[in-house]
Structure 1
Amino acid sequence: MEKQNNSYRWIVFSSVLLAYFLIVSQRTAPGLITDQVMKDFQISAAVVGLITSIQFVAYSGLQIPVGLLSDRFGPNRFLIIGTLLNGIGTILYSLATHESILLFSRLLVGVGDATIWVNVVLILNQWFKGGEFTRLLGLAGVAGSLGSLLATVPFSSLITLAGWRPVFLSTGIVLCFISGLLYFVLEKKAKQNGKKDLTALVRQPQKHEKTSTILKRVLSSRQAWATFFCHFGVVGTYVGFIGSWGVPYGMNVLEVSRSAASQLMMYGLIGAIAGSLLISQFTSRLGSVKRSYLAIQIMIFLSWVTLFVIEKPPFMLAIFLLFLIGFGHGGGPLTFAIVRSTFPQKEVGVVTGFANTGGFISAVLLPFFFGQVLDMFQLAPVEVGYHYGLLIPVIFTLIGLIGGMLIKEQQKSTKPLAKSSEII
C-alpha cells in the first residue's frame, strides 16, 4: 500500500504520539489537586470520587462503540474530535465555578479519551507494515508512560508555581491546538501523501453489516476473549495497584515514608518505560508475539506471587518486583499486535476496543476488591489485610496468563471474523 512506503507516515506517527502523550497525562493529573478542589469548592471526598469516576466510566463504556464507528467511518476524524473534546473539557475544568461544571468537564475528557487509543492503533495499522507496527506500538507505550510521568513531579511543580487553574487552562489550549495540527496532518496534507489510493474506495457505495451481527461475532470469538483476558491481567493489575493501594502498601507494610513509597511506585513507572522500549523490539526480532507475551505474563504472575508469599519483603526486593511488574505492563501493546495480525482490517477497531476494555475493567475492579479485603481484616494487624489483598492481582494475572495461552498466532485473514472463533 502506498501509505506504508511513504516517508510522510513518520509525520503522522509523530503527531499522533504527541496527542497521545498529552492526553494520557490528563487521566491522572486532577489527582494532584484533590485537596485543593475540595477546599475551593467545599465538596466532600465522595463528590470528588464521583467527578473522577465519571471520566473512566465514559472511557470504558465507549471503547466498543468507538471501535465500531472507527472501523466504519475511519479513525482520523474520531482522533481529531477526541483530542478537541479533551482540550475543551480541560479548559472547562480550569474555569469551573461549580462542582456540576467539574463533573461535566471530566465527562467531556472521558469521552475524548475514549477515542484515542483505538484510533491510534488503527492509524498506525494503516500507515505502517507489520514489523514496524509492532515496534511502534512499543514507542506509543513509551509516550503513554511519559505522559503519566508528566502528571507527577513536573505537573505538580508547575501547579505549585502558577496555581492549578492556569496550568490546566494552558494544557487545554495546547490540546485544542494539537487537534488542529492533527486535522492538518491527517486530513489536509495526507490527501497528497498516500491517501489518494484509498479515496476512491471510500467513496464507493459499501454494504455495512448490522452492528448486532458484528458484536455477536466478536463476543463469540475465543481469540477476541483471549486478547481481553491478556489486557485484563497485564495492564489492569499495574494501573489499578499503582493508582490506588501502591503508596499505602509501601507505608503500612514496608514501613517507609510517603515519599519513599511514592518513589517505589516510580520504579514501576520506570519499568513500564523500559518495557515499552525493549519488549516490542525483542518481539519483532523473535517473530512470535505469543511466546514473548507468555514470557511477560509468567514474569508478572510470579512477581505478584512473590509479593503475596513474602508478607514483608525487603525494600530492595519490593523495588525489583515493582520494576518487573511495570516492565511487563510495557508489553501491553502486544495485545493489539495480536489483534492486528489475527482479525481483518475492517474489524481491528472493534476488537481493539473490546480488548482495551479488559484492561480498564481490571484497573477498576482491583482497587475495589482490594479495599473490600482490607475491610474484612480491619481488626487484624494492617499487614494481614494487605497480605490477603495481594491475592487479587495474583488471580487477575493468572487470568491474563490463561488468556495468553489461549491465543493462536496466525496470519491476518481477509475472511470474516466468524472463523476466528474456531482458531483455538
Structure 2
Amino acid sequence: MDIHTNRFRWVIFASVLFTYLIISSQRTAPGLITDKLMADFSVKASTIGLVASIQFFVYTGLQIPMGILVDRYGPNLFLISGAALTGIGTILYSLGTHAFILFFARILTGIGDATIWVSMVLILSLWFGKGEFPRLIGLAGMTGSLGFLLATVPFSAVIVSFGWRGSFLSTGILLCVWSFFLFLILVKKPKQPLLVKSTLQHEKIPVLLRRIFLNRQAWALFLCHFGIVGGYIGFIGSWAVPYAMDVYGMTRIEASQVIMISLIGALVGAPLIGWVSSYLGKIKRPYVVFHITVLMCWTAFLLFKGQPPLFLVIILFFIIGFGFGANSLTFAAVRKSFPVTESGSVSGFANTGGFLSAVLLPGVFGSILESVQSTSGSISDGYFYGFFTPMIFSMVGLIGVMFLNEEQGAIGKQG
C-alpha cells in the first residue's frame, strides 16, 4: 500500500507531534526554577544563565550535521534516540547535585533536541504528499508553541505540587518510555527499517556542504528563518518581560500575561498560515506578507520611541507571535523545491539560521540597552535603540524571502 494513503500515517503524525510537544516544553521549563537552582546550588545568575543557554548553542551547532545524518540514515533512529537522550538529560538534571551535572545534562538535552525537528520534517515528508505538507507542518509549528505554553502555568503547577526535582524526573522518565513506543510506532508496526541507506551516503560531506553553501535557494531559506524566528524567540524569550516591567511598570505576573498573548498568536498563526498556504498552493506569497507584517510591527516600536500605548503593545505582541507561525513555511519550501533525500540537510541549514538569530538577538539587544542606559541614564532610550535589532533581523528575513524561488529544485534533481 502507498504510504501516502495509509491511515496509520496519522498515528505516526500524532506520535511525532507529541514528542515535539514534550521536548519543546523542556527548552524553556528550566527558566521556571532559576531562583530555586541558585538557592540549591549556591551559584550566581550568570552561571544559571550559561546552563540555560548551552542547550540552544548545542541545538544550533548541530542542525547542519544532524540534517546530513538524517538524510544518510533516515529519521527513525534519530527521532527515537533524540527522545531518549532528551529524557536521560532531563533525568540527570533532576538528580543533579552540582552545577557541572546541570551543565552536562543540558548538553545531553541539547543533543537530543537537535535531532527532533529535522527528523520530524523528513518523517512528514516521507509519509505525506507535497499538497498536504504546508498544512501539516503548520500544525507541527503550533505544537512547538503549545510546548512553550505548557512550560508556563501548567508546568509551574506541577512544580508546586511535586517539587522541581520530581517534575523534571517524571518528564525525563516519560520521554525515555516514549522513545520505546516510538520504536514500535515508527519501525516495528509499519515494518520500516531503523536505519535507511541512501545514495547520498556515497557523496563526500564537504561536497554536499559546498553545494548548500553556494546555493542561493538554500541561503534564501536560511535568511527567511533568521528573520522570522530571532525576533520572536530572541526578544519574547529574554527581554519582553523586563521591557514590560521597566517601561510600563508592570509586575512580573502582569508582564508574563502580556507575553502569553504572543504565545496565543503563535498558536493560532502556525496552523492558519499553513492552511492558507496549502489552499493557495503558494508559499512565497503568504510568506512575504507575514514578513512585511512582522517588520511593520517592530518598526512601530521605533515610531513610538520604544513606548507605544499599552493596548497597542498587546496587539503588536499578538501579531508578532502570529507572524512567527509563518516560520513553518520555510520547511514547506524545502519540501517543495528540494528532493526528499536532501531535505534533512537543507532543513538543518535553514533551521540554523533561525536559532542563530535567536541566540544572537538577546546579547545584541542587551549590549545596546546597557550601553545607551550608561550614557543617557534612560532605560527607555535603551529599549528604543534596542528595538533596531529585531527590526534589522526582520529586514534580513524579508530580503531572504524575496530571493526565494519555490519552484526551483536547487540541489540535485527534483524528487
| Separation in 2, partners of 1:387, 1:413 | 40
Q: Quote the residue 1:351 is aligned against.
A: 346
Q: Quote the residue 1:247 is aligned against.
A: 241
Q: Quote the residue 1:58 is aligned against.
A: 58
Letter in 2 for 1:251: M
Q: Which runs of 5+ in 1 are unaligned?
A: 418-424
Deviation string, structure 1 residues 325-359 (Cα, Å, up to 9, x no partner): 00000111100001111111111001100000111
Q: Quote the residue 1:44 is aligned against.
A: 44
Letter in 1 for 2:303: V
1:205 is displaced (CA, Å) by 7.9
| Separation in 1, partners of 2:223, 2:277 | 20
Confirm whether residue 384 of structure 1 aligns to residue 378 of structure 2.
no
TM-score by length of 2: 0.96
| Separation in 2, partners of 1:175, 1:308 | 43
CA-based RMSD: 1.7
The number of residue pairs the alignment matches comes to: 411
Confirm whether residue 394 of structure 1 aligns to residue 388 of structure 2.
no
Q: Which one of 303, 308, 316 corresponds to residue 311 of structure 2?
A: 316
Q: Secondary structure at the match of 2:373?
A: coil
Letter in 1 for 2:203: E
Q: Which one of 324, 331, 335 corresponds to residue 340 of structure 1?
A: 335
Q: Which runs of 5+ in 2 are unaligned?
A: none
| Separation in 2, partners of 1:206, 1:411 | 20
Q: Quote the residue 1:233 is aligned against.
A: 227
Q: Which one of 399, 402, 405 corresponds to residue 405 of structure 1?
A: 402
1:161 is displaced (CA, Å) by 1.7
- Report which stretch shifted further, 119-128 or 206-215: 206-215
Q: Quote the residue 2:362 is aligned against.
A: 367
| Separation in 2, partners of 1:270, 1:146 | 9
Confirm whether residue 293 of structure 1 aligns to residue 290 of structure 2.
no
Confirm whether residue 304 of structure 1 aligns to residue 298 of structure 2.
yes
Q: Residue 345 and residue 102 in structure 1: after superposition, are their counterparts in 2 closer, same or farther (change >3 A)?
A: same
Q: Does the 8 Å CA contact 1:62/1:114 hold for their aligned counterparts?
A: yes
| Separation in 1, partners of 2:317, 2:129 | 33
| Separation in 2, partners of 1:265, 1:17 | 24
Letter in 1 for 2:135: R
List 4+ stretches of structure 1 deviating above 4 A.
Answer: 202-207, 411-414
Q: Does the 8 Å CA contact 2:198/2:341 hold for their aligned counterparts?
A: no
Q: Secondary structure at the match of 1:378?
A: helix
Deviation string, structure 1 residues 79-105 (Cα, Å, up to 9, x no partner): 000000000000111111111111111
Q: Quote the residue 2:127 is aligned against.
A: 127
- Report which stretch shifted further, 402-411 or 80-89: 402-411
| Separation in 1, partners of 2:402, 2:199 | 41
Q: Quote the residue 2:182 is aligned against.
A: 182
1:414 is displaced (CA, Å) by 8.4
Q: Secondary structure at the match of 1:4?
A: helix
Q: Does the 8 Å CA contact 2:72/2:201 hold for their aligned counterparts?
A: no
Letter in 2 for 1:394: M
Q: Quote the residue 1:421 is aligned against.
A: none
Letter in 2 for 1:298: I
| Separation in 2, partners of 1:215, 1:411 | 19
